Protein backbone atom coordinates (compact mmCIF):
# COMPACT_ATOMS: atom_id res chain seq x y z
CA UNK A 1 0.00 0.00 0.00
CA UNK A 2 1.31 3.44 -0.86
CA UNK A 3 2.05 6.15 1.67
CA UNK A 4 -1.07 8.09 0.58
CA UNK A 5 -3.21 4.97 1.04
CA UNK A 6 -1.85 4.35 4.54
CA UNK A 7 -2.43 7.99 5.44
CA UNK A 8 -6.01 7.84 4.15
CA UNK A 9 -6.75 4.64 6.12
CA UNK A 10 -5.20 6.12 9.27
CA UNK A 11 -7.19 9.35 8.83
CA UNK A 12 -10.45 7.43 8.43
CA UNK A 13 -9.66 5.30 11.48
CA UNK A 14 -8.95 8.41 13.59
CA UNK A 15 -12.18 10.05 12.41
CA UNK A 16 -14.18 6.92 13.28
CA UNK A 17 -12.63 6.68 16.76
CA UNK A 18 -13.29 10.37 17.45
CA UNK A 19 -16.87 10.01 16.18
CA UNK A 20 -17.43 6.94 18.36
CA UNK A 21 -16.08 8.68 21.45
CA UNK A 22 -18.17 11.77 20.73
CA UNK A 23 -21.25 9.55 20.38
CA UNK A 24 -20.63 7.87 23.73
CA UNK A 25 -20.15 11.22 25.49
CA UNK A 26 -23.25 12.66 23.81
CA UNK A 27 -25.42 9.67 24.77
CA UNK A 28 -24.17 9.68 28.36
CA UNK A 29 -25.11 13.36 28.68
CA UNK A 30 -28.54 13.02 27.07
CA UNK A 31 -29.75 9.81 28.74
CA UNK A 32 -29.64 9.78 32.54
CA UNK A 33 -28.24 6.64 34.18
CA UNK A 34 -30.42 3.67 35.28
CA UNK A 35 -32.61 4.44 38.28
CA UNK A 36 -32.83 8.14 37.56
CA UNK A 37 -34.32 7.39 34.14
CA UNK A 38 -36.73 4.76 35.45
CA UNK A 39 -37.96 6.79 38.42
CA UNK A 40 -38.93 9.89 36.44
CA UNK A 41 -41.64 11.66 38.46
CA UNK A 42 -41.58 8.71 40.87
CA UNK A 43 -42.99 10.66 43.84
CA UNK A 44 -45.94 11.89 41.79
CA UNK A 45 -46.72 8.38 40.55
CA UNK A 46 -46.51 6.93 44.08
CA UNK A 47 -48.90 9.59 45.39
CA UNK A 48 -51.44 8.78 42.66
CA UNK A 49 -51.23 5.03 43.33
CA UNK A 50 -51.47 5.52 47.11
CA UNK A 51 -54.59 7.66 46.67
CA UNK A 52 -56.20 4.98 44.49
CA UNK A 53 -55.39 2.22 46.98
CA UNK A 54 -56.56 4.16 50.02
CA UNK A 55 -59.04 2.12 52.04
CA UNK A 56 -58.07 -1.22 50.52
CA UNK A 57 -57.03 -3.94 52.95
CA UNK A 58 -53.93 -5.10 51.09
CA UNK A 59 -53.52 -8.37 53.04
CA UNK A 60 -57.05 -9.60 52.41
CA UNK A 61 -56.94 -8.54 48.75
CA UNK A 62 -53.69 -10.44 48.24
CA UNK A 63 -55.10 -13.56 49.92
CA UNK A 64 -58.41 -13.46 48.06
CA UNK A 65 -57.38 -12.20 44.62
CA UNK A 66 -53.82 -13.34 43.93
CA UNK A 67 -55.12 -16.59 42.39
CA UNK A 68 -56.77 -14.52 39.66
CA UNK A 69 -53.53 -12.65 38.89
CA UNK A 70 -50.30 -14.47 39.75
CA UNK A 71 -48.90 -16.42 36.78
CA UNK A 72 -51.87 -15.50 34.60
CA UNK A 73 -51.77 -13.91 31.17
CA UNK A 74 -53.02 -10.39 30.61
CA UNK A 75 -55.93 -11.84 28.65
CA UNK A 76 -56.92 -14.10 31.58
CA UNK A 77 -56.70 -11.19 34.03
CA UNK A 78 -58.81 -9.00 31.74
CA UNK A 79 -61.45 -11.75 31.57
CA UNK A 80 -61.61 -11.79 35.38
CA UNK A 81 -62.12 -8.01 35.37
CA UNK A 82 -64.92 -8.36 32.83
CA UNK A 83 -66.56 -11.07 34.98
CA UNK A 84 -66.41 -8.73 37.99
CA UNK A 85 -64.00 -10.92 39.96
CA UNK A 86 -61.26 -8.26 39.94
CA UNK A 87 -60.90 -4.50 39.94
CA UNK A 88 -57.90 -2.62 38.62
CA UNK A 89 -57.18 -1.42 42.15
CA UNK A 90 -57.03 -5.03 43.33
CA UNK A 91 -54.70 -5.94 40.47
CA UNK A 92 -52.44 -3.06 41.45
CA UNK A 93 -52.51 -4.07 45.13
CA UNK A 94 -51.57 -7.68 44.35
CA UNK A 95 -48.84 -6.68 41.92
CA UNK A 96 -47.33 -4.28 44.44
CA UNK A 97 -47.37 -6.87 47.22
CA UNK A 98 -45.91 -9.61 45.02
CA UNK A 99 -43.11 -7.34 43.78
CA UNK A 100 -41.98 -6.52 47.35
Is pTM beyond 0.75? Reply is no
Q: How far apart are CA 5 and CA 12, in angstroms?
A: 11
**Mean pLDDT, 10 residues at a time, the chain of 100 residues:** 82 92 84 60 81 86 88 93 92 80
What pLDDT, on the 0 to 100 scale, is given for residue 82? 95
Amino acid sequence: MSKKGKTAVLSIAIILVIGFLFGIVFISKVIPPGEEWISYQNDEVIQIIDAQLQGIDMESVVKEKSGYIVEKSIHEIQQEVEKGNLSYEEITAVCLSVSN
